[in-house]
Chains A and B, each alone.
Chain A
Amino acid sequence: MTEKIKIKSKNVNVYYGQKKALDKINLEIPTNKVTALIGPSGCGKSTFLRCINRMNDTIDICRIEGKIIVDEEDIYSTEVDPVLLRAKIGMVFQKPNPFPKSIFDNVAYGPKIHGIVNSDDELEELVIYSLKKAGLFEEVKDRLNDSGTSLSGGQQQRLCIARAIAISPQIILMDEPCSALDPIATAVIEELIDELVKNFTIVIVTHSMQQAARVSQQTAFFHMGNLIEVGRTDQIFSTPSQKKTQDYITGKIG
């Protein structure tokens, strides 16, 4: 593989208190590609995802060893401010979590706190751009002042995506973004991911192997806190090299 690497993890161990959640994870995530993290519940894939933007910092008992290098910089070194890091690495959560504010304010919040925009016009432009990018603008253009929570589940999730891309991150982390959505809303989000990957590096955790197969170019299979196998998606789903991977994708474990 000759592609550029955006995120590189080196021997990452994660502990929750005494319990080891991740064991020596070495994973390279290429730029402007979708990388899917799959595996049964509790395998550590979400934990790994949340290490990439240091969301685990908010959990008191969580401890991380090893290095995660984003753009040649170890994000766990003391010089890195997690707030700045999260501005660079956006996140979309499992359950759509818009703020109980207007649709406009939801998207405008990130640019406002980071001081990205200089004027109200610029802000409005950015909000509209982000909503368009998230494929939501046409549906909500007449009611930008309605509460974000009044939207349907799929719309809410796209609003969260718009909110994440409004601060123009380089990486978007998605933690099972479609698990609370119906198949139609899921299809819309998947199309959106195909579109977004042109500009962003995307890491997506998913329970659905079909989804991983559909949207990702690289797939990593986690099991019991270990990274079992990583490779091109078509190769993982057709000719996995590990028996566990094969068992999982054929439904024998999980």
Chain B
Amino acid sequence: MNNLKKIEYSLKKRKRQESRFKIYGLLGITSAVTFLCIILSSIFMEGKKAFLSTYIKLEVYFDPDIIYTDNDQKEEDIKFANFQKIIKNSLNSFFPEISDKGELRKLSNFISSSEEENLMRLVLENKQLIGQKVTLWLLASSKIDVINKNPDMELIAEEDRLISNLELNWLNEIRSANNIESNFNKNFFVKADSTEPEQAGIWGSLVGSFFTLFVTLILSFPIAVAAGVFLEELAPKNKFTDFIEVNINNLAAVPSIIFGLLGLAIFLNVMHLPRSAPIVGGMVLALMTLPTIIIATRASLKAVPPSIREAAIGLGATKFQTVTHHVLPLSLPGILTGTIIGMSQALGESAPLLMIGMVAFIVDVPGSFLDSSTVLPVQIYLWKSTAARGFVELTAAGVMVLLSFLILMNGLAVYIRQKFEKKW
């Protein structure tokens, strides 16, 4: 009876311990989820603005006197015509009262400089436009875009604001004429970097990331799987293989920038491969991803029960047949999962790429593995370190794009694991 009392007493204590432990766990999870939500929502609130651009409606008069400087009316003339002046005149016709040169320049800064080229292309395609008045929606410049999307910025004192009171008045006049609207920001998805936020896009770095990761995958997957299979299935277990194993595990923990330094020293300085190119970035990231995939490969090979190996060997299969017919197919879901995790790590990696010059300002979408390019995380870093206010939104939008790709890849990894993993 006495013992039972003691147990009863200690039981209360144990139960209290258990409930305390549960509360700690819940607290941990709640705080983690809260922080995640805060981060994601702040990124989303800022980033969603970048998916819209501001457009201003203008009556554009394609003045033949401006387009054709002489009388021969060649295509060359259109290419070198002063479309800036055409835009300025269109704005001026909306605000006829403005005549001061300085004010006119300010006014013409309402429209993105990229529209000059767009108008030129429009005329090149359809020469009938010359001499006509056409109503067009033109892309606003970034500072107008920022003010238009963030109405609270109008309340800031003039000296700290992006635009002066005068410009704000013009903007309000355009607004009251219903000549301004927000529409889908196409530039963001088709352009590469630019000095003007409204013309900058993520596509260039997305393509750069794709080329880089492609090289990474092509190099690291076969090498890592071969190494993992050799170490796990074929190599004798001795001091030497133990040494290799320890080193692979260490490599997985090496800071990624070290791989960048290695790439700089060997791929650029010794092998003289092109700077800033996806092929070099891919090689560097492949070095970084190798240990991850090797470790994943070995773990999933280990998870295949030895009875399967015994069955195959007992039937007279060679070691190689045992591995390729049975062990490798069974461990493939695990290997692929590890590979995708490694790839998404590589996708989010920027430090080693800084070392090999993938941090350059590149306005063209790369067309091959040898072109200069940048990658998603580096593009985000570049935008974040640029002063213009319009890049704040772009930075957040870039993070959103990067995150969606990471979630997509990790989701794919989960799907492969769930779908193809065999139970026995």
Stretch at the interface among B131-139, B174-182, B311-319: B311-319
Q: Which residues of B contact A60 (CB under 8 A)?
A: 236-237
Give, as a whole number of angstroms, the nearest-CB distance from A101 to chain B. 9
Asked if B150 CB lies within 8 Å of chain A CBs, one says: no
Q: Which residues of A contact B422 (CB under 8 A)?
A: 100
Q: Which residues of B contact A167 (CB under 8 A)?
A: 315-316
Give, as a whole number of angstroms, the nearest-CB distance from A28 to chain B. 23
Size class of B's contact patch? 20 to 34
Compute how far the CA of A53 lies from the CA of B308 in the bound complex, rounded to whole angstroms: 17
1/0 contact string of B300-336 vs chain A (CB within 8 Å): 0000010111111111111001000110001000000
Asked if B424 CB lies within 8 Å of chain A CBs, one says: yes
Compute how far the CA of A163 lies from the CA of B317 in the bound complex, rounded to whole angstroms: 13
Is the beta-carbon distance between A90 and B330 smaller than 8 angstroms? Answer: no
Compute how far the CA of A204 lies from the CA of B304 in the bound complex, rounded to whole angstroms: 27
1/0 contact string of A89-125 vs chain B (CB within 8 Å): 0110101011110000000011001100000000000
* Contact A93/B318 with A100-B424, A149-B424 known, Cβ cut-off 8 Å: no
Stretch at the interface among A17-25, A33-41, A80-88: A80-88
Is the beta-carbon distance between B424 and A86 smaller than 8 angstroms? Answer: no
Q: Which residues of A contact B326 (CB under 8 A)?
A: 99
Of B308, B316, B330, which contacts A114 at CB under 8 A? B316
Is the beta-carbon distance between B315 and A113 smaller than 8 angstroms? Answer: yes
Compute how far the CA of A149 lies from the CA of B424 in the bound complex, rounded to whole angstroms: 7
Compute how far the CA of A95 lies from the CA of B310 in the bound complex, rounded to whole angstroms: 11
* Contact A86/B313 with A100-B424, A149-B424 known, Cβ cut-off 8 Å: yes
Is the beta-carbon distance between B316 and A97 smaller than 8 angstroms? Answer: no
Is the beta-carbon distance between A109 and B315 smaller than 8 angstroms? Answer: yes
Is the beta-carbon distance between A86 and B315 smaller than 8 angstroms? Answer: yes
Is the beta-carbon distance between B318 and A97 smaller than 8 angstroms? Answer: no
Q: Which residues of A contact B310 (CB under 8 A)?
A: 55, 58, 91, 93, 97
Is the beta-carbon distance between B315 and A163 smaller than 8 angstroms? Answer: yes
Asked if A164 CB lies within 8 Å of chain B CBs, one says: yes
Compute how far the CA of A93 lies from the CA of B236 in the bound complex, rounded to whole angstroms: 25
Give, as a whole number of angstroms, the nearest-CB distance from A153 to chain B. 12
Interface residues on chain A, number (Cβ under 8 Å): 26
Asked if A160 CB lies within 8 Å of chain B CBs, one says: yes
Is the beta-carbon distance between A113 and B316 smaller than 8 angstroms? Answer: yes
Compute how far the CA of A55 lies from the CA of B306 in the bound complex, rounded to whole angstroms: 12
* Contact A93/B311 with A100-B424, A113-B321 known, Cβ cut-off 8 Å: yes
Task: Name A157-178 residues within 8 Å CB distance of B.
Answer: 160, 163-164, 167
Is the beta-carbon distance between B316 and A87 smaller than 8 angstroms? Answer: yes
Give, as a whole number of angstroms, the nearest-CB distance from B331 to chain A. 12
Q: Which residues of B contact A164 (CB under 8 A)?
A: 314-315
Is the beta-carbon distance between A99 and B316 smaller than 8 angstroms? Answer: no
Q: Which residues of B contact A85 (CB under 8 A)?
A: 316
**Nearest chain-B residue to A114 (Cβ)?**
B316
Q: Which residues of A contact B307 (CB under 8 A)?
A: 93, 95, 97
Is the beta-carbon distance between B308 and A86 smaller than 8 angstroms? Answer: no
Of B237, B308, B311, B318, which contacts A83 at CB under 8 A? B318
Is the beta-carbon distance between B314 and A91 smaller than 8 angstroms? Answer: yes
Q: Which residues of A contact B314 (CB under 8 A)?
A: 53, 55, 86, 90-91, 93, 164
Is the beta-carbon distance between B316 and A58 smaller than 8 angstroms? Answer: no
Give, as a whole number of angstroms, the nearest-CB distance from A113 to chain B. 6
* Contact A100/B330 with A83-B316, A113-B316 known, Cβ cut-off 8 Å: yes
Q: Which residues of B contact A109 (CB under 8 A)?
A: 312, 315, 317, 325
Compute how far the CA of A160 lies from the CA of B318 in the bound complex, rounded to whole angstroms: 18
Q: Which residues of A contact B316 (CB under 8 A)?
A: 83-87, 110, 113-114, 167
**Nearest 4 CB-CB pairings of A with B:** A87-B316, A97-B307, A91-B314, A86-B316
Which residues from chain B sit less than 8 Å from chain A, CB to CB?
236-237, 305, 307-318, 321, 325-326, 330, 422-424
Which residues from chain A sit less than 8 Å from chain B, CB to CB?
53, 55, 58, 60, 83-87, 90-91, 93, 95, 97-100, 109-110, 113-114, 149, 160, 163-164, 167
